Amino acid sequence: MAEPVLEVQGLTRRFGDFTAVSDLSFDIQPGEIFGFLGPNGAGKSTTIRMLCGVLTPSAGTARALGRDLFTEADLLRSRMGYMSQKSSLLTDLTVAENLRFFGGLYGLEGQRLASEVSFRLHEMQVWDQRDALVAELSTGERQRVALAAATLHRPEILFLDEPTSGVDPLRRRLFWEAMDELVAEGMSILVTTHNLGEADQCDRLAFILGGRLMAYGRPRTLKEALGRQVLELRADRFRDLQLAARRQPEVLAAELLGRSVRISLSASLAPEALLARLRAEGHTFEALPAEQPSLEDLFVDLVQHARTA
């Protein structure tokens, strides 16, 4: 792998005697879209806020673009961009006025400012809204304007905290296309999301729970590492089938999905062996082809595991 653009070691943040982020270590490779996944309160925003210099860490180190992120923050600020979870746009200014304002904060002025604003307005597909007040925009438009504002100075590392929350699937896709363009420009992106479809599109993921890193890697590797198979059985007597499946020791979970039973099966038992056992008990059903577990399976698994631990 190349030299990471960001390398975090043992990052920790305490609020009084509560530890919001605990001993977090990960790195981000050049040109990567790196996803942060975890339930509410997991510590995602707190981590991002420390990396953006908004919040002081209690412990840990971080290097970004070859410099110490915490002691050389002033040298790095202009090379990083941040879109916070709560939009920082000024709602009583127009879209273009907002971008000129934020560009000014980054030190852009004159012709350079005008051309960067125009470039981003087009790229984020909000050119037609340039003279509208931010207060009048839809959520999807507003989020794309916020992304434009965070990237006017062409940062090399971009932190996006839940940029697509409340955005419909079509506009969400538009937002991800814009992120792909930013990566093509040479940016590396850390993005938090609650959307598992989005998480699946990330190059790598960190799954955080209670401030700790629970799983880390490529989405596909993480799903494979779950070591289980997912089966869907269609049956008229689906409730009986669900109970029968739950009695099998290798069945990790059996949930109803319409008139089907969705079974999560340990890798220690072949699916055919399970089907044979259920048939031997007198159950009739139609088995759909086995699937790979989804990120949702991973998510549920980790949360349940943490609860019982």
Ligand X SMILES: Nc1ncnc2c1ncn2[C@@H]1O[C@H](COP(=O)(O)OP(=O)(O)OP(=O)(O)O)[C@@H](O)[C@H]1O
Which spans of this chain sit near ligand X (rule: CB under 6 A)?
Answer: 15, 20, 38, 40-46, 85
Select from 16-24, 79-87, 110-118, 183-191 the region that touches Mg ion (CB under 5 A).
Answer: 79-87
35 binds, among Mg ion, ligand X, none (CB under 5 to 8 A by kind): none
User: Which runs of consecutive H residues, i.e. helices, occur in the chain?
Assistant: 44-51, 73-76, 95-105, 110-123, 139-151, 169-184, 196-201, 219-225, 238-246, 271-280, 295-308
Cβ nearer to ligand X, comparing 46 with 98: 46
Q: Which of 200, 157, 206 is nearest to 21 (CA)?
A: 206
Q: What minimum distance in Å lies between the beta carbon of 44 and Mg ion?
A: 5
Residue 40's binding partner among Mg ion, ligand X, none (Cβ under 5 to 8 angstroms by kind) is ligand X
Amino acid code (one letter) for 232 = E
By a kind-dependent CB cut-off of 5 to 8 A, residue 41 interacts, out of ligand X, Mg ion, none, with ligand X
Nearer Cβ to ligand X, position 24 or 251? 24
Closer residue to Mg ion in complex, CB, 173/194: 194
CB–CB of 262/300 below 8 Å?
A: no
Instruction: Decide: helix, strand or coil at residue 52.
Output: coil
Instruction: Tell me if 45 contacts Mg ion by CB under 5 A.
Output: yes
- In whole angstroms, the minimum distance from the beta carbon of 141 to ligand X comes to 22
The Cα 219–Cα 201 span in angstroms is 8
**16 vs 110 by CB, closer to ligand X:** 16
Among residues 210 and 217, whose Cβ is nearest to ligand X? 210
| Binding-site partner at residue 248 among Mg ion, ligand X, none, CB < 5 to 8 Å by type | none
Judged by beta carbon distances under 5 to 8 A according to partner kind, the member of Mg ion, ligand X, none in contact with residue 254 is: none
Residue 164 beta carbon to Mg ion: minimum distance, rounded to whole angstroms: 13
Which tokens in the block code for residue 29? 């490779």
Choose from Mg ion, ligand X, none: what does 10 bind? Cβ within 5-8 Å by kind: none
Q: Which is nearer to ligand X, 6 or 206 (CB)?
A: 206
Nearer to ligand X, 95 or 209 (CB): 209
How would you write 93-113 as a 3-class SS string?
CEHHHHHHHHHHHCCCCHHHH
Question: Cβ 88 to ligand X, closest distance in Å?
Answer: 16
| Residue 157 CB-half CA count within 13 A | 24
- Choose the one of Mg ion, ligand X, none that binds residue 219, judging by a C-beta under 5 to 8 angstroms depending on kind: none
Binding of Mg ion at residue 164 (CB under 5 A)?
no
Burial of 61 (0-12, 13-18, 19+ CB in 10 A): middle
Please, what is the minimum distance in Å from the beta carbon of residue 158 to ligand X?
17
270, amino acid identity: A
Opening angle at CA 82, ends 63 and 176, nearest 5: 105
If you ran DSSP here, which 8-state letter would residue 3 be given?
P
Stretch that binds Mg ion, among 26-34, 41-49, 117-125, 295-303 (CB under 5 A): 41-49
Are the CB atoms for 205 and 222 separated by under 8 Å?
yes
Per CB under 5 A, contacts with Mg ion among 81-100 are: 85
As a whole number of Å, the CA-based R_g of the chain is: 23
Residues that bind Mg ion (CB under 5 A): 44-45, 85
